[in-house]
Amino acid sequence: MSTIKPSETTYKIEDSYLKNKECHLLINNVEYIITISDYTEYLFYKGKEITLKDIELISSLAKEFTYKKYLSRLLANKRYTIYEISNKLKKKFLLSKKEIDKLLDSYINSKILDDKAYAIDYIESNNHKYGRKRLLSELKKKGISENILNSQEVLNSIDDTIDEEVIIKLEKRYRSLPFNKRCEKIKEILYKRGFITSEINKIKIIDTAKNDSSLLIKEAKKCYNAIASKKVDKEKMKSLFTTKLLRKGFSYEEIIKLKEEYFND
């Protein structure tokens, strides 16, 4: 607090009270909200005489409290890189780079904001979906520096192996394509996802469409034999055959072909 000179204009703190772990000050009909620690340090009690410099200090403390409250709310819900959180502060409060750097300094020193840890965790969470190139590209978009991305800790966290489950899902998604075209499509997608060429060339793609086809034929034969043992007429057999196959997940197109085969329709 500044020392009041005889010639200085003084103001009074009209009200001062604590609410929700915050200190509310009323000065010239303007409310300022500051931290309890700031209130304790400067003794901003009700009725205290203060100067214009004191009001400027209180205004500065109130702004800082608002910024930190906003930061706490953001960081409680999601992780951010320093670049991302800086952009949010700039957009919300129109702060300068110098002001943002000063505000974030304690968060960075205490590792609440830690770009290297963020990069490693991001890679470990997404490595099964994306390859090296895509992972590093996405992190670069999030504002993480080249120094961090090229650090041994970050690069060592990347596993270039392509998860077999990823290949199986892609194979099923494009199973309507001829097998050769399907393989080309899968490799093209893996490349777009940032996997390295040497790993893409190692993958083994199984033609599940061929396997499924033989399984369907076996399942249809079982259904037909079960119905045939009931010794019902042909129309009833066809009706039961259709119902059973539908329950087992056969499509109408598959059922029509099977009925032609078993009933000469």
Report whether 171 contacts 205 (CB < 8 A): yes
Q: pLDDT above 70 covers what percent of the chain?
A: 93
The span from the CA of 64 to the CA of 89, in Å, is 12
For residue 100, the tally of other CB atoms under 10 A from its CB is: 19
Mean pLDDT to the nearest integer, 109-130: 96
Q: pLDDT confidence of 8, banded at 50, 70, 90?
A: confident
Kindly indicate the confidence band of residue 216, based on its pLDDT and cuts at 50, 70 and 90.
low
Q: Under 8 Å CB-to-CB from 24, ≥6 apart: which residues?
A: 15, 16, 17, 18, 31, 32, 33
Task: Name 22's bridge partners.
Answer: 19
- CA dist 70 and 3 (Å) reads 33
Weakest mean pLDDT among 4-18, 157-171, 188-202, 245-259: 245-259
State the average pLDDT over residues 124-131. 94
Could you read off the pLDDT of 144-192 as tens digits, one per residue? 999 999 999 999 999 999 998 899 889 888 877 888 898 999 999 999 9
Residue type, 71: L
The full set of domain ranges for the chain reads 1-64, 115-156, 164-200, 210-263
Q: Can you name the CATH fold of 1-64? A: OB fold (Dihydrolipoamide Acetyltransferase, E2P) (2.40.50)
Higher-confidence position of 9 and 91: 91
54/3: higher pLDDT = 54
**Looking at residue 212, what is its pLDDT?**
60
pLDDT, tens digit (0-9, with 9 covering 90-100), for 168-179: 889 888 877 888
Tokens of 224: 């037909």
Both structure tokens of 64 = 């800082």
Higher pLDDT residue, 225 or 197?
A: 197
Verdict on whether the full-model pTM lies above 0.75: no
The pLDDT of residue 136 is 98
Banded pLDDT at 82 (limits 50, 70, 90): very high
- 192 Cβ contact partners less than 8 Å away, ≥ 6 residues apart: 134
Q: 10-59: per-residue pLDDT in tens? A: 999 999 999 999 999 999 999 999 999 999 999 999 999 999 999 999 99
| Cα 48-50-52 angle, rounded to 5 deg | 155
> Residue 215: pLDDT band by 50, 70, 90 thresholds?
low
Across residues 237-242, what is the average pLDDT? 88
Of 144, 117, 129, the closest CA to residue 194 belongs to 129
What is the percentage of the chain residues whose pLDDT exceeds 90? Answer: 66
- For residues 1-13, give the mean pLDDT: 73
Give the strand order in the sheet containing 22-27: 15-19, 22-27, 30-34
Question: Residue 249 above 80 pLDDT?
Answer: no
Rg of the chain over Cα atoms, rounded to whole angstroms, equals: 34
